[in-house]
Amino acid sequence: MSAPGPSTIITQPPPPSTLRESRIATHSHIKGLGLADDGTAMESSQGFVGQRVAREALGLHLALLKTGKYSGRSLLLVGPPGTGKTALALALSQELGTKVPFCAMVGSEVYSGEVKKTEVLASCFRRAIGLRIKETKEVYEGEVTELTPSEAENPLSGYGKTISHVIVGLKTVKGTKQLRLDPSVYEAIQKERVVIGDVIYIEANTGAVKRVGRSDAYASEYDLEAEEYVPLPKGDVHKRKELVQDVTLHDLDMANARPQGGQDIMSVMGQLIKGGRTEITDKLRREINKVVDRYIEQGVAELIPGVLFIDEVHMLDMECFTYLNRALESPLSPYVVLASNRGLTTIRGTEDIISPHGIPVDLLDRCMIVKTVSYNREEIRRVLEIRIRVENLSVKPEALDKLADEGEKSSLRYALQLLTPASILAKTMGRTEVGLEDVGELGELFLDTKRSAGVLRGMEG
């Protein structure tokens, strides 16, 4: 597909995600680095426990990033598995701001049969670079009080009628206004499923319609659907409004690479068949970069470098490392955080080149290296307490001590994995709290890494 010209670059944001924000994930409890005002790490703060040296190092790195003059130099986290490397990268992105993009990937993700390795890395780089577009538009905003389509005879056919215009009444705190609008606006209103009582705004130049929500005057109505109620807009119906759109460069790439075919059945079927991953040409990316640069110069847009986290970085090969060297020198570069749990190991893609953490020396020279250490028993117990609160579980103190012992003997991850099964087991037995017997029974049902390896060694013997 040929790249569109600069004037045809699409800068609309993607549709809002329908995923639940409240879903409890592995690092839902991490809210930041947990640093005091003087930069020292508190023992337990913002969901983080332990790793004080690593957190203080990332706090100093964060201060450098906030100056805006430190892109192109990556951070490397090294340490044993389960010592919080991913949590540190996530905390770094949250300290930068809630609107800062965070893209996490694993080194093995680059190996795909559909897309070449450098394309996977390029798309992840673009996912981690945000663009905040600010536009001042003339809009009509208010609660819909009237929605009357006006029909006329269809001049092209003797049968049926067509919509000639639509009358829309809008009400704000200050007054009301009746608008006579084009039929295309009526189609946009139908797509948004607008009914009388909804709060909407209509862009004066483009005719785009956006439904904000249901007016809070109807909040007392019984509605089976979970409806979002919004207050009646203030000011006049016709006003100038500053709209802020947060997108990533990858969103712009996909919006411009996707074919804008017609609505006939063949076009729709073609788009369905063409599913899966596609490569975006360098030519298209260069065109988008030109438009982005022009927007930044005009003050219309602001570039927001995010965080790209590459876990198990030793899984990348020499081609990927060469690409990383070039990408880090680009003016459009996110903050890159790498993580590895290997010591001296052979660089993938070579036969005899051994390097620390499986990373070539020329890339290691670009990295600031931060070490993470294993958790002790007390820290494991505190992490378990935080996860119990996040997952809304009830655990007896003696059961918590047993889980902390298991974490010290095997790993923190193993102890965390036992929490939810233990609560299910307790509920099955009719208990409201997880007891010592539940944790003991789980120890018989599930094995940790060391015990399972011992069982296999015994079978070999």
For 236-302, the DSSP string reads -SEEEEEEEEEEEHHHHHHHHHS----SSHHHHHHHHHT-S-----HHHHHHHHHHHHHHHHHTSEE
- Looking at residues 35-59, what average pLDDT do you find? 81
- Pair of tokens at residue 289: 């970069």
pLDDT, residue 417, reads 85
Per-residue confidence (pLDDT) for residue 19, from 0 to 100: 38
Report whether pLDDT(11) > 80: no
User: Quick one: pLDDT band at residue 25, thresholds 50, 70, 90?
Assistant: low
Q: Is 107 exposed, middle or buried (0-12, 13-18, 19+ CB in 10 A)?
A: buried
With bands split at pLDDT 50, 70 and 90, how would you rate the model's confidence at 269?
very low
Q: What pLDDT, on the 0 to 100 scale, is given for residue 209?
A: 86
How far apart CA 325 and CA 315 sit, in angstroms, is 16
Residues 68/334, Cβ–Cβ less than 8 Å: no
DSSP state of 159: S
Place of tokens 């809070």: 216
Does pLDDT of 158 surpass 80? Answer: no
Strand 48-49 and strand 75-78: the pairing is unpaired
Give me the mean pLDDT over the 323-334 stretch: 84
- DSSP notation for 187-207: HHHHHTT--TTEEEEEETTT-
Report residue 137's pLDDT band, with 50, 70 and 90 as the boundaries.
confident
- 11-15, 231-235, 317-321, range with the lowest pLDDT: 11-15
CA of 452: how far to CAs of 42, 420, 443, in Å? Answer: 37, 21, 12
How confident is the model over 192-203, as a mean pLDDT?
A: 86
H or E element, residue 152: strand 129-153
Contact 271, 261 (CB under 8 A): yes
In whole angstroms, how far apart are CA 265 and each of 191, 259, 268, 270, 274? 19, 15, 5, 9, 14
Mean pLDDT of 51-77: 78
Quote the DSSP letter at residue 9.
-
% helix / strand / coil in the chain, to the nearest 5?
Answer: 40, 25, 40
In terms of pLDDT, which residue wins out, 205 or 290? 290
The answer to whether the beta carbons of residues 199 and 214 sit under 8 Å apart is: yes
Average pLDDT rounded to a whole number, residues 101-127 = 86
Mean pLDDT of 72-87: 82
Q: Using the Cα atoms of residue 179, residue 183, residue 188 and residue 192 in order, give the sign of their dihedral.
A: positive
Comparing 147 with 17, the larger pLDDT belongs to 147
Average pLDDT, the chain: 79
Q: In angstroms, rounded to a whole number, what is the distance separating the alpha carbons of residues 390 and 140? A: 43
User: To the nearest whole percent, how much of the chain has pLDDT over 90?
Assistant: 0
Give the single-character DSSP code of 330: S
Cα 264 to Cα 254: distance, rounded to the nearest angstrom: 22
Q: Which of 242, 241, 237 is nearest to 179 (CA)?
A: 237
* pLDDT for res 4: 45
- How does DSSP classify residue 157? -
Count of CB atoms situated within 10 Å of the CB of 171: 19
Say what the pLDDT of residue 2 is.
42
DSSP 123: H
pLDDT value for 304? 83
What digits encode the pLDDT tens for the residues 344-367?
A: 888 888 888 888 888 888 888 888
Q: Can you give the C-alpha Rg of the chain in angstroms?
A: 28
| Cβ contact 280:253 at 8 Å | yes
Tell me the whole-structure pTM to 2 decimals.
Answer: 0.67
Residue with token string 């119906």:
237
- Residue 24, both tokens: 């409890």
Instruction: Please report the DSSP string for 19-49 in residue order.
Output: S-TT---TTTT--S--B-TTSPBPSEETTEE
pLDDT at 117: 87
Residue 441: how many other CB atoms lie within 10 Å: 16
What is the reported pLDDT for 388? 86
SS3 166: strand
- For the chain, domains (ranges, CATH) are 31-128+306-371 (3.40.50.300), 134-244 (2.40.50.360), 377-460 (1.10.8.60)
Q: Say if residue 224's pLDDT is above 60.
A: no
CB 376 within 8 A of CB 407: no
